[in-house]
A and B are shown apart, each in its own frame.
Chain A
Amino acid sequence: MKKIKITINDKPYEVDDGQTIMQAADKLGFRIPRLCYHPKLSIEGACRVCIVQVEGMRNYVASCAYPVSGGMKIQTNTEEIRQARRDIVELILDNHPEDCHTCERDGVCELQRLAHLTGMRHRHFEGEKKHYDKDLSSSSVVRDPNKCVLCGRCVRLCSEVQNVFALGHAHRGFRTVVVPAYNMPFKDSVCTACGQCINVCPTAAFVEKNFTQELYPKMGDTSLIKIAQVAPSVRAAIGEAFGLEPGRTMELQTVAALRRLGFDYVFDTQFSADLTIMEEASEFLERLQGKGKLPMITSCSSAWMKCVEQFHPDFLENISTCKSPMSMMGAIIRTYFAEKIKKRPEDIVSVAVMCCTAKKYEAARPELMVNGLPGVDMVITTREIAWMIKSAGIDFVNIKGENFDEPLGLSSGAGAIFGTTGGVMEAALRTAYELYTGETLMDIEIQDIRGLKGVKVGKVVMDGKEIRVAVAHGLGNASKLLDEVRRDPNKYHFIEIMGCPGGCVGGGGQPYAGSNSIPLDEECLKKRAEALYGLDRSKTIRRSHQNPDIQRIYKEFLGRPLSATAHRILHTHYQAKKPCGIIPRELQVR
């Protein structure tokens, strides 16, 4: 890379050519304030918060968009540019509700931080503010255009990363608003409920549908048995909500805190992940023997399932019939476990603590009912549970860890890695290999399908048969992979797809980025994933079929994988949906 000389704030620096002013400044330790910029998304240049002065230029330039060039003289912090930046932030703030103290994102809001760091102490330009109705229709995501600052990060994410195109800018000028097509209720739109709009939103224009207030009365009802299950990636991220560095595993602390909150039983979704593997690996082997369509595609991710039904109905037959680990756990709680504790299924409150907003949608799906009851009554995201823990005054960081409850609390390492992209595939192959060959797969860490590459491929040879697998995370990557399969249907045998970037660790319900991090930061996702891989390594049992409690539930209740009972409560089928809205396959994104 060619080096060029520039000056920033009158000091000379040598930087790489071919980058933007912001990129160059970042590397030199100047973090120019910003709002609409996101490294994973296209350059919008809309908010103008990151403006700087460049000698010889009449106007300010947006440092996120403007390339550095040799001899460039840049000023990032003069009195003039500070006032301009402050005024821009004020203009944004002037058209914002400013109900910080009653806002869900109080303290974790980028606009609030910007107002503080640009030195907003007085106001000059107040006037009319926009007024829109909140859209409460979706079971997962609440949309509040009043809080929207029109940075467009959600729109770009939904189109560029997820390829869902549920959101767009509508109208123009002061009336510009981010809405689904026709301004229809979010629930009727093509939104897959992945919640990534929440993750990238700098304010509270998108938040999850909060169920904490509905949960409290149930927690206080002594006639009910309160059961929580905890998804793998919750433990890998929840610490961040308490100021801990990403990647710190808070597994046992989470269990302890949930007990303090009043749950009678705390189960591990990793247990039902092991159960999913038993069913899914068996289903795969059946398909491999000609009973069903290949490639088989995983069905754990709820956003992905809505995506398939809407946009890729030609692949419905390829979708594994297995319910997700959350729904399997829900089903087992209502049946096996209810019987075990001699309670009526309806007297159990089944709560799932998830990293995911789409699980709220999944929990209400009629396809997943068990004997007329939903397997899960309520889904609470990592963010919501963190708030409940704080609100209850529980000292989460210092609390002494406790173990999950039996008989649905013991899990293998395979169950733990479910939370990261490639994990389900890796877990399934560990078991499928052994079920197919009768031998133990020794090299169980399949590096080819780990990491944050959009589409990853690998292969395993089972008894001389080459099994080709592919893994995609993020719905945009999923679409790309499916197009590849459309062109060559025999290319892969088994495909894992997760709706969110990074898999569940990057779920739409995970803690907001702190003041020193950015949403969906790759380093953060890697650390969360590494926490799960660490859990895997720390376990002596790393293969689902070796989990003694899994063996027990088959012995006591399910019989064998794919048995009639298993089919009845652990499997389902999905139908094509005609959404109000169409996905483009190759449309260029602007």
Chain B
Amino acid sequence: MSRKYSITICDGPTCLHKKSKELESAIEQCLKEHALTDKVRINLSGCLGMCGKGPILIVKPGYTIYGSVTLGDVAEIIEKHIIKKKPVARLAIEEDHLYNRFFRIFGDVNFFGKQLRIVLRNCGIIDPESIDDYLSVRGYEALAYVLTQMKPLDVVEEVKKSGLRGRGGAGFPTGIKWQLTAREKNSEKFVICNADEGDPGAFMDRSTIEGDPHSVIEGMCVGGYAVGAQKGFIYIRAEYPLAIKRLEKAIADAKAEGFLGDKIMGSDFSFDIEIRLGAGAFVCGEETALIHSIEGHRGMPRPRPPYPSVQGVFNKPTLINNVETWANIPVIILDGAEWFKSIGTEKSKGTKVFALAGKIKNTGLIEVPMGITLRSIIYDIGGGIPNNKKFKALQTGGPSGGCLSEEYLDTKIDYESLAKVGSIMGSGGMIVLDEDTCMVNIAKFFLEFTENESCGKCAPCREGTKRMLEILTRITEGKGEEGDINKLQRLGKLIQKASLCGLGQSAPNPVLSTLKNFRSEYEEHIKEKKCRAKVCSTLLGYEISEKCIGCTACKKVCPTGAIAGIQKSLHVIDQSKCIRCGACFEACKFNAIKRI
């Protein structure tokens, strides 16, 4: 049985000091007395950031925030709010604008402080499997509003005015895309939600869908109304079973409540959504490949034009946006384009979700306003580099993006600025690299990924990425040759400019950007056969230092018998027999073996 109410109690340091723990026991006790234990769930949350008004309670659904709650208030809250369903007005902190609400909820804690949650507004706050929860946070209000108050073209105008741009990576203005689809004269049109999130390490879309599936569905409904489509597809990776389950439930619930289906909310607008599963192909994130996949074909891109807005799925006009873009739509409708436009930079409005990972203290999903600097993300939100290591590079945009060195850290997050310094916004992968990372190796890692994911249709990408990978491999194995850097650059530029689709056109970015910003590392690998980060194993040697006590552990594990030495005396590695497997290094308990 699903619980109906939940009470979130803040157990941040201030609230704890103001007896929130005691509050929790009192609430439990009170619920027991009213035999409500099964009906009400108690959650604890980290600091909600409203420390001045602590202790804080949040009762959901409804999202009523109570401040300065005393033990004496508990009975009243339970009896009035939970049983009689009437919030206790005298304790409630008044709800206002969405923006402020979230800013207030997540207050001034550093991790959240620099963040601004629009896309992730409901994630972690509502029960994603409960349509009631969604409704309680003004869910489907945007849809109701457009159906009753706005003509389709007004909706298109509003989205245009908001300045929202595609969050899948390329940043095409969303409103223009809507307009192009809306103006096509065709009795059958489609909208698609691209949830084929494929960048290694990126999980923005998965989290959004798992945490708040209805906002995506509502966004699609609004989009369907605006462009005149009758059907939507959500193309999602089969590797996301929980997200798929949540979407299925959300679609069924929305249908049951009349937010999807025939004549939605009594209007003349009918709209349905179907889930289509991917099957493990990164290239299907490219829109024409995705369309082919929905049609049951190999996910191979085709040349554009014609663009999907003219000839998309089943050759019908089709509007494709990614998950994050769709999730922005209900907020833009409810709070207005003017408000949305006020966030961000001149050309990039709103927020962007990133999956922050790598050599950084606070990893996780963050949502920041456009215009924040990379430095602020890494040091204010991410908490900097752990273990006193030195920052080396920031990789954005995954296999399609680039690596930025220290000098670019004051770059502001927006589409143009990132492109200008040789990376891309991308779909939201953000990996911090420290001095222990070999830049040649990281470039090779990403190229291995794209080479493996190339669909094989166009020659520059199919053959070119293979050749680049071969060159990179030989460089990391100490077999790099004079001229290899030129070859990489020549191939990279060719693949960028001549490939058929975005995957190929961006595949060389990790290589070209590291060549630009970290060229000396390539040169060291090629000329000196040296890997300064000590990552490329064939370029490493092992040596036993004076610290050796002669325990023979290394000798025992050496697979080639390259280590000589008797018990309790210094051991020696025969470099001609050593295959640089590193087994001795792992085995030594005395830090006596050094990588050279």
Contact = CB atoms under 8 A, between A and B. Distances in A.
Direct contact between A and B judged by beta carbons closer than 8 A:
yes
Interface in A113-158: 124-125, 127-128, 149-150, 152
A174 B487 contact: no
A125 B456 contact: no
B292 interface: yes
Nearest to B298: A169
B297 A62 contact: no
B437 interface: no
B281 A172 contact: yes
A65 B494 contact: no
B8 interface: no
A400 to B, nearest CB: 49
A465 B300 CA distance: 54
Given A47-B459, A66-B303, A171-B456, A127 B466 contact: yes
Interface stretch (B42-50, B87-95, B137-145, B447-455): B447-455
B461 to A, nearest CB: 8
A149 B300 CA distance: 17
Contacts of A49: 459
Contacts of B458: 45-48
B497 A58 contact: yes
B496 A92 contact: no
A48 B498 contact: yes
Contacts of A150: 456-457, 459, 462
A504 B444 CA distance: 53
B506 to A, nearest CB: 11
Given A45-B458, A46-B457, A174 B466 contact: yes
A434 interface: no
A173 B460 contact: no
Contacts of B463: 91-92, 94-95, 174
A87 B499 CA distance: 12
Contacts of B292: 590
B397 interface: no
B219 interface: no
A161 B302 CA distance: 20
A436 to B, nearest CB: 48
B295 interface: yes
A124 B490 contact: yes
A128 B496 CA distance: 22
Interface in B453-512: 453-460, 462-464, 466-467, 470, 487, 490-491, 494, 496-500, 505
Contact of A91 (B300, B464, B496, B505): B464
Contacts of B499: 48, 59
B305 interface: yes
A88 interface: yes
A176 B298 CA distance: 12
Contacts of B281: 172
A149 B295 CA distance: 26
Interface in B561-578: none
A268 B273 CA distance: 66
Given A92-B463, A94-B467, A176 B497 contact: no
Which of B464, B487, B498, B500 has the most chain A CB within a 10 Å cutoff? B498
B471 to A, nearest CB: 8
Given A48-B460, A48-B499, A125-B467, A84 B494 contact: yes
A485 interface: no
A590 B455 CA distance: 15
A150 B461 CA distance: 13
A150 B458 CA distance: 8
Contact of B470 (A87, A92, A128, A152): A128
A28 interface: no
Interface residues of B, number: 35
A67 interface: yes
Contact of A128 (B303, B457, B466, B491): B466
Contacts of A51: 498
Interface in A54-88: 58-60, 62, 65-67, 84, 87-88
Contact of A174 (B298, B302, B462): B462
Given A60-B497, A84-B497, A150-B462, A127 B470 contact: yes
A92 B305 CA distance: 25
A43 interface: yes
A487 interface: no
B466 A176 contact: no
Contacts of A176: 455-457, 462
B455 A173 contact: yes
Contacts of B460: 48, 88, 91
Contact of A59 (B302, B467, B498): B498
B459 A46 contact: yes
A79 B272 CA distance: 52
A174 B302 CA distance: 18
Nearest to B463: A91
A27 interface: no
Contact of A173 (B452, B467, B490): B452
A297 B183 CA distance: 49
Contacts of A11: none
Contacts of A175: 456
Contacts of B454: 172-174
A88 B491 CA distance: 9
A48 B458 CA distance: 7
Contact of B487 (A48, A125, A152): A125
A119 B36 CA distance: 83
Contact of B295 (A66, A92, A590): A590
Contact of B490 (A47, A87, A94): A87
Contacts of B498: 48, 51, 59-60, 84, 88
B488 to A, nearest CB: 10
Nearest to A67: B305
Contact of B459 (A58, A92, A590): A92
Which of A58, A62, A128, A173 has the most chain B CB within a 10 Å cutoff? A173
A174 B295 contact: no
Contacts of B302: 43, 45, 590
Nearest to B291: A590
A254 B463 CA distance: 45
A45 B455 CA distance: 14
Contacts of B487: 124-125
Contact of B467 (A45, A46, A91): A91
A88 B451 contact: no
Given A590-B292, A590-B295, A88 B459 contact: yes
Contacts of B490: 87, 124
A283 B131 CA distance: 73
Nearest to B305: A67
A95 B466 CA distance: 10
A172 B494 contact: no
B419 to A, nearest CB: 10
Nearest to A57: B497
Contacts of B494: 84, 87-88
A175 B100 CA distance: 53
A433 B491 CA distance: 68
Nearest to A587: B296
A46 B497 CA distance: 14
Given A48-B458, A84-B498, A87-B490, 18 more contacts: A45-B458, A46-B457, A46-B500, A47-B458, A59-B497, A59-B505, A62-B500, A127-B470, A128-B466, A128-B470, A149-B459, A169-B456, A172-B281, A173-B455, A176-B456, A176-B457, A590-B295, A590-B297
Interface of B: 281, 292, 295, 297-298, 300, 302-303, 305, 451-460, 462-464, 466-467, 470, 487, 490-491, 494, 496-500, 505
30 contacts: A43-B302, A43-B303, A44-B457, A45-B303, A45-B458, A46-B457, A47-B459, A48-B458, A60-B498, A66-B305, A87-B494, A88-B494, A88-B498, A91-B460, A91-B463, A92-B459, A92-B463, A95-B466, A124-B487, A125-B487, A150-B456, A150-B457, A169-B298, A172-B455, A173-B452, A173-B454, A173-B455, A174-B451, A590-B292, A590-B302
The 7 closest A-B CB pairs, nearest first, are: A176-B456, A45-B303, A65-B303, A91-B463, A173-B454, A127-B470, A125-B467
